[in-house]
Amino acid sequence: MDRRRFLQASAAGVALSAVGVNPVVFAKKRPLRVGLIGCGWYGKAALLRLIQVEPVEVVALCDVDSKMLAEAAEIVAGRQVSGKKPRTYGDYREMLKKEQLDIVQVSTPDHWHALAMIAAVKAGADVYVEKPISVDVVEAQAMVAAARKYKKVVQVDLQRRSTPHLVEARDRIIGEGKLGKIAHVEVYCYYHMRARGNPPAITPPAHFDYDMWTGPAPMRPYTSVVHPRRWRAFMEYGNGIIGDMCVHMYDMVRWMLDLGWPRSVASTGGILVDKDSIANISDTQTAIFDHGDVNVVWQHRTWGAAPDPKYSWGATIYGDKGTLKAGVMSYDFIPRGGGEPIHKDVTYEYEKYPEDKTEKDLERHVAPALRAHWKNFLAARQTRSLPVSNIEQGYISSASCILANVAMQLGRTLRWDPEKGHVVGDEEANRLLARPYRKPWTHPDPKNV
């Protein structure tokens, strides 16, 4: 702090004391200054849940789509306590340079998570970042290193850990031993969510900076599939269905069963049915995460029917005393050999938050989980402790799913060494842990963040 700012701060402190206000308490009650990078679907959904639970001041928004950015600024102004419209930016680096932010929310496409998150903690902010935390393993390692080096609280938006009915399932069914010995878990997604068709290349719209949006990813011809929201159809920007959907349910299972790293990861699959689509992510994939005494098996299909339509995306945890099915809409405990089954539906909070009913594009069943996740993050900020979905946990779940894709690509099982952060005895696999970056962007280095 320079001399002028010091004198101003000192004078303010004396003035507050003179009227009986503790300057320290007053400072703590000032609204937290928030900036959002990525104003698309989930960026707005998560940010508006924060506004519901804490009187923050969203001072800045950033997006490479100027139309989406302007719309987000209007929405935020209408929802936050001050009624002020946030300042807007097209480049997150400029935003972080000009604004003094307490919290930065990173809700970009996956291929931007690492660079934006690392820049935010360097700028002095705590961070709430979307899942998966990265598109490659080394990015994730750099994110963990940055969070620890700069002593910042980072919450990953793996909000199954804060979903009320799933917290109950963990405590009431697993915690009380109703499943007995657990040795096998199935996680799965059967949503038909993979982009179909083969639209032609077109010129990006004038309001969309496609070069900046592409950033460190390979430059693809622009099509209507890329933006908004359907970029997940391409491996250049993410890790397919396993990186998008498995990471949620696999992380949930690890949290429920207190599992760390898998000892090994194997995977098979590919594009087996929809071979004509422009999408290059798999439409069929199975992965095995070996946790020793517990085997976790993932499966997705973007075609055909779900074995249980009630649980098209979820987990089935098998114990010798019973079975637990858990998903975003409910859980069901089925005891073995008789006994009372237990069912619980998703929790809604419409009476307290009636705006949930009408908010555009909101996944209403996720709103309570997002609010609880933000509250957990805010509490962790106060105590400078680890939130429920801290960056290390996000690293484990994200990297494990990325390793499944590497295993599928190479056609062999990968044994993972969590201490050294590499695949044991497989240099070809280790070379695939970091993707090439498009110039002039530079891949983050865990040893030099």
Residue 394 tokens read as 């996000």
Distance CA 374, CA 29 (A): 18
Q: Which of 71, 4, 59 is nearest to 34 (CA)?
A: 59
SS3 361: coil
User: What order do you get walking across the sheet with 103-106 strand by strand?
Assistant: 87-89, 57-62, 33-37, 103-106, 126-129, 154-156
In the prediction, which pLDDT does 17 show? 47
Tokens of 300: 């997705």
To 10 degrees, the CA torsion angle through 225, 227, 228, 229?
60
155 three-state secondary structure: strand
- Whole-structure pTM value: 0.93
Q: Give the pLDDT confidence score for residue 136 in this predicted structure.
A: 98
Cα–Cα distance list, 129 to 107, 121, 159, 246, 382 (Å)? 6, 11, 11, 17, 18
Q: Along the chain (449 residues), what's the average pLDDT of each consecutive run of 10 residues?
A: 40 44 54 98 96 98 98 98 97 98 98 98 98 98 98 98 98 98 98 95 97 98 94 98 98 98 98 96 98 98 97 98 98 94 97 96 97 98 98 98 98 98 98 98 98
For residue 172, the 8-state DSSP code is I
Q: Residue holding tokens 């295993």?
A: 407
| Cβ atoms within 10 Å of 115's Cβ, excluding its own | 24
d(CA 97, CA 127): 16
Give first-to-last CA distance, the chain, whole Å: 24
**Residue 199: predicted pLDDT:** 95
Tally of CA atoms within 13 A in the half-sphere of 234 that contains its CB? 22
| Cα radius of gyration rounded to whole Å, the chain | 23
Extract the tokens encoding 140.
């994730």
Inter-residue contact 58 to 36 (CB < 8 Å) = yes
- Residue 9: its pLDDT value, please? 44
Omega within 30 of 0 (cis) for the link into 200? no
| Per-domain boundaries in the chain | 161-350+392-431
Closest CA to 196 of 135, 305, 273: 273
DSSP string, 279-327: --S-SEEEEEEE-SS-EEEEEEESSS--SSGGGSEEEEEEESSEEEEEE
- pLDDT attached to residue 283: 98
Neighbours of 382 (CB within 10 A): 9
333 DSSP assignment: E
Distance, in Å, from the CA atom of 143 to the CA atom of 391, rounded to the nearest integer, reads: 8
Asked if 217 contacts 111 with a C-beta cutoff of 8 angstroms, the reply is yes
pLDDT of res. 28:
56
Report residue 165 as tokens: 């009915």
Phi, psi values for residue 265, rounded to 5°: -135, 130
Q: Is domain 161-350+392-431 given the CATH code 3.30.360.10 in the classification?
A: yes
Torsion of CA 273, 278, 280, 286, to 10 degrees: -30
What DSSP element (H or E) covers 16?
Answer: helix 3-18
Distance set, CA 427 to CA 360, 401, 414, 440 (Å): 47, 19, 11, 27
Token duo for residue 196:
């179909």
